Structure 1
């Protein structure tokens, strides 16, 4: 290292750059999503600015990443990465509830083998898993692994839809979802 300390905006810029990388976005994707000019995006993604980032810039970055400005500024990277993937870790109460109320032997065995994956479940997903364990329910029919995988796929799909909704493809997305929704839940006429 050359002994020069990074500017005051560099640490936040480096955090943003790491989150952008985690999202799989390139410079173009990030510029389009944040609606920031290319020069600003280039500074953030390649070495960080020499001075503090403007509040509007931070706000646009946070919004694009699905975070609040406070979260982006204050939370450590290891807590932000799961959030940008739509995976806030289940709180301890939810995990405790899941372990206490898991009656299906397959669910109990899965919890023993997959503690880290269980910790990634959202509180509402924990509740959903508990409801699925009824006799003849989805956990018995499909298996615990399949149900957890489907919950994860659904979560990822919702994240993708949110990303698309912030682009010029919003109208197309709305038409597509409406068409499929009508096939699944036909409206009653007459």
Structure 2
């Protein structure tokens, strides 16, 4: 019986699950509903209650709810898993190198020197968008680097929130709201 094989939930695995649930912004009830596990099980996992043993099926449900494979949940360190809770893939080193190499606009070069940490948070598609915006007469000249990067960061945070709502009982409300807003935007483009 593979369902009866157990994995010790104490220590690192329980810590990872609790930290990832917290990073998602879920409470115990949210996680119980999303993972389809009972509240008692979730409470014991998240509160680090008495050491208990989890069935593989329970670990699998936790991993699925968090958008991870069981292997990722068990083996990857927490610092590699946390960015995924925001829908952000691990930093793309090649895209980041391209950003530093191709930044030509003096304001962008200066911003990169002052904000290396924020630059490493940019996704590959955001880096491409930032580099394209530095063309003569482009958005960076008109708007400025800081406001444009803030826009990218706000959009990323918004997409993360929408993702969380889409995985909740509020998906119907989200769908209705987005549909109405989309119609409004489309009507102004005509």
Is this a same-fold pair by TM over 0.5? yes
Partner of 2:134: 133
Partner of 2:56: 55
The answer for unaligned runs of 5 or more in structure 2 is: 1-6
Partner of 1:145: 146
Partner of 1:109: 110
Instruction: State yes or no: 1:9 paired with 2:9.
Output: yes
**Matches of 1:67 and 1:76 in 2, distance apart?**
13
Distance 1:114 1:187, change over 3 A: closer
- State the shift of 1:96 in Å: 0.8
Q: TM-score, normalised by structure 1?
A: 0.86
Partner of 1:156: 157
- State the shift of 1:88 in Å: 2.9
**Matches of 2:55 and 2:187 in 1, distance apart?**
48
- Residue deviations 1:136-171, cap 9 Å, x none? 222122211111111111111111111111222111
- State the shift of 1:50 in Å: 2.1
Moved more, 129-138 or 41-50: 41-50
Partner of 2:3: none
User: Residues 35-184 of structure 1 correspond to what in structure 2 (within 5 A)?
Assistant: 35-47=36-48, 49-51=51-53, 53-184=54-185
**Matches of 2:138 and 2:97 in 1, distance apart?**
22
**Matches of 1:25 and 1:110 in 2, distance apart?**
34
Q: Superposition RMSD on alpha carbons, in Å?
A: 2.2
- The DSSP-based 3-state class of the residue aligned with 1:185 is helix
- Residue deviations 1:10-63, cap 9 Å, x none? 121111011222233221222222221101101110116422x33332233223
Length, aligned pairs only: 182
Partner of 2:4: none
